[in-house]
């Protein structure tokens, strides 16, 4: 499996962010090749990431440097994308 970098841009009080992070906890054991990093949108780094990827809703989910989703996510599509990125 190829290494995959998963970046998650979150904001305080974001329901979709919390849902994604809880979902990730349930599946991360199946993806040892995925390095996940959470960054708060209110930090300087988060602001830079949001600007670079034009993220206007959280969570911003970035896989291998490409924005995959923002403002929500589909669990099945996410798993499919991880599988594709891992090939």
Can you give the CATH number for the domain in which 55 is found? 3.40.30.10
Which residue in 69, 44, 58, 53 sits closest to 11, CA to CA?
58
**Containing structural domain, residue 78:** 4-86
The model's pTM: 0.94
Residues 58-71: what's their mean pLDDT?
Answer: 98
Count up the domains in the chain and report the number.
1
pLDDT digits (tens, 9 = 90+) for 8-42: 999 999 999 999 999 999 999 999 999 999 999 99
| Structure tokens given for 80 | 């499919």
């Amino acid at each position: 499996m190829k290494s995959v970098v998963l970046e998650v841009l979150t904001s305080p009080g974001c329901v979709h962010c919390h849902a994604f992070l809880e979902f990730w906890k349930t599946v991360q054991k199946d993806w040892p090749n995925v390095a996940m990093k959470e960054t708060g949108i209110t930090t300087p780094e988060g602001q830079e990431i949001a600007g670079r990827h034009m993220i206007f809703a959280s969570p911003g989910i970035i896989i291998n440097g490409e924005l995959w989703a923002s403002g929500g996510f589909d669990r099945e599509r996410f798993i499919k994308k991880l599988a594709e990125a891992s090939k």
